[in-house]
Structure 1
């Protein structure tokens, strides 16, 4: 019997708690000999895990190299790359799945037999384009990475169509889409609570303007409550939010829960608010985990006019799109909620749950990696 093809999944992230990369591991471990390389402990199901040192930063430290546009030097002297490269040296893989642009050069340097698939989680050249310093200092480096390495990949995927279109337009590469869909959860919609229970789960980052939800609840109708689950990405900001919301009726801050328990936790609610002001390009094209987790929890959805989310929400009748990102408009939508309307949304989520599950959405990954591992990579003459 022939051995299964070997696949390295490379990510400068803690793979056990990175939902998108963990889905790759779960999808491909039954099919291939999967080795992972990233931070933290090994995810379940892999044949080997190569751990990157926890103090090895995945970001460029060499400010002089960045300022003088010596981008190749800057990349190869990144701490995470310096730590991972010798640990991977001398190993042979049939293919590599490189997560995010920062992993692509290292993956290509390993010269796997059939090449590299790149999964790009954002549009890297505009990742923080709301920040002038980032646009001046970092964006040129990101554009260099794209120009230099993207066309060397055998195939590419990203998280949303708008981001894929921008990569294709700017760098001439064909890009497929694998959304951040959650695994299918076999459950039934729960009856609508009295009062209606709203939930917002988010990373605790200032640019997300989570204080808008606190302002919303100061004048919210009595027939709704809001719980917020805020990850401590920026602890000072999260502390500010908790203090700001301490005396707001109907508002509760809930501690974060492990990813494996998130859909079960969300199912205790009625409506998820996924409201992301488009402060940069990637947020304007956001199609986040939380959107899909709400569907698997059988919740209704209230979102801002984010085009990627709005297209899916309208197709399946999952909830309501607020016409703009103002607190006033969101407040009007909340004031018009009725148990009957929310119950319809929850039933729509139930009907859409299989279509919008990871098992269906990940077909693009399955096809790309199968094609990668069954055809030889072109070699330069």
Structure 2
């Protein structure tokens, strides 16, 4: 027995490199007996860890099951679910924090004594709604998971107001918002020194249209420089991007860095391009890690007209919004930059860093888990 309530943080990810789940571990490690389950080794702050094999996928290849709407069969066939069932005890944990929709049915089946909180990292039913096959075969499975299991969670959070509203509208489940804010960093903004150095970090996926950023730099003035950190999600696409950039001065690719070092690297830049064409629902409603990491690094930001990011840029004045999502609009915006303007943005980011820090955002997780614990201790509580 433990003197603290036991909390299983369940995620089909490598938790030490998953910024959102790491924040959960950090938040709860002192108040709860935190147990983690994910790929690879234990994250710092975990009292116990159940390691999932690196090669057990959390997505389905059961085409027959999807086509014939045998959704429970599809779910039980997920290799990650099968692996987790073999190692996780049933009825042992007080509370489970289930990350992403695909871990929620498993969390409920593990029968925690007090309940499950679901943290949804995106709007799962429209994750890849730019893909016809995905919309036809996978989206119905995701909707079934939502309809069947979300009402059984004691509480639900997600990453932005637009996504939260869609979960509530489609499935009748009250959904709170915990943004992907980065931990507060005690830092000071630096002044622009000569050229304006811009950075963009992203997953190397074709639907993100990263070629727009490269095209925006074609024939750019010498005082503009753009570095790109692109993960090799789709190696052929990343190779195409590098070939496109070969003849464009001012564009360079740099190797990905560990998350723990990312903000230190960002601090060597002036402006972060957080430019996400709305090729699917989740990108249209995105409020990504990189947006908040730029604030903690005390950078200015340039965003497209994405509603969630527009609202914060307008409120805190640490950047600007392009006219649309075209490379031409981005080109016009970056060519209008001046050192004086960017320096003002960096000062505004410094002023906003506390309010937009993870420490402020994660309070809702704290109250949500505490409410589940309290409801178990008090049979009359709702």
Q: Which TM bucket (shorter chain)? A: over 0.9
1:213 corresponds in structure 2 to: 213
Q: Distance in 2 between matches of 1:61 and 1:82?
A: 14
Q: Distance in 2 between matches of 1:60 and 1:249?
A: 43
- In the alignment, structure 2 segments of 5+ residues that lack a partner are none
Correspondence list, 1:166-205, <5 A: 166-205=166-205
Q: Distance in 2 between matches of 1:342 and 1:225?
A: 14
Preserved contact between residue 193 and residue 270 of structure 1 (Cα < 8 Å): no
Using the TM superposition, give the Cα deviation of residue 91 of structure 1 relative to its aligned residue in structure 2, in angstroms. Answer: 5.4
Distance 1:117 1:90, change over 3 A: closer
* CA deviation string 1:335-357 (max 9, x = no partner): 11111100000000000000000
1:360 corresponds in structure 2 to: 360
Correspondence list, 1:27-42, <5 A: 27-42=27-42
1:56 corresponds in structure 2 to: 56
1:71 corresponds in structure 2 to: 71
Preserved contact between residue 164 and residue 177 of structure 2 (Cα < 8 Å): yes
Within the alignment, does 1:241 sit opposite 2:241 as a pair? yes
SS of the aligned residue for 1:311 comes to: helix
SS of the aligned residue for 2:66 comes to: helix
Q: Distance in 1 between matches of 2:77 and 2:222?
A: 56
Using the TM superposition, give the Cα deviation of residue 189 of structure 1 relative to its aligned residue in structure 2, in angstroms. Answer: 0.2
2:13 corresponds in structure 1 to: 13
* CA deviation string 1:62-119 (max 9, x = no partner): 2111111010111012111111012113450010000000000000001101100000
1:160 corresponds in structure 2 to: 160
SS of the aligned residue for 1:302 comes to: strand
SS of the aligned residue for 1:13 comes to: coil
Preserved contact between residue 182 and residue 292 of structure 1 (Cα < 8 Å): yes
Q: Distance in 2 between matches of 1:43 and 1:246?
A: 39
Preserved contact between residue 275 and residue 303 of structure 1 (Cα < 8 Å): yes
SS of the aligned residue for 2:13 comes to: strand
Q: Distance in 2 between matches of 1:20 and 1:186?
A: 20
Correspondence list, 1:25-174, <5 A: 25-90=25-90, 92-174=92-174
SS of the aligned residue for 1:60 comes to: coil
- In the alignment, structure 1 segments of 5+ residues that lack a partner are none
1:376 corresponds in structure 2 to: 376
TM-score by length of 1: 0.97
TM-score by length of 2: 0.97
Preserved contact between residue 202 and residue 230 of structure 1 (Cα < 8 Å): yes
2:344 corresponds in structure 1 to: 344
Using the TM superposition, give the Cα deviation of residue 2 of structure 1 relative to its aligned residue in structure 2, in angstroms. Answer: 7.1
SS of the aligned residue for 1:46 comes to: coil
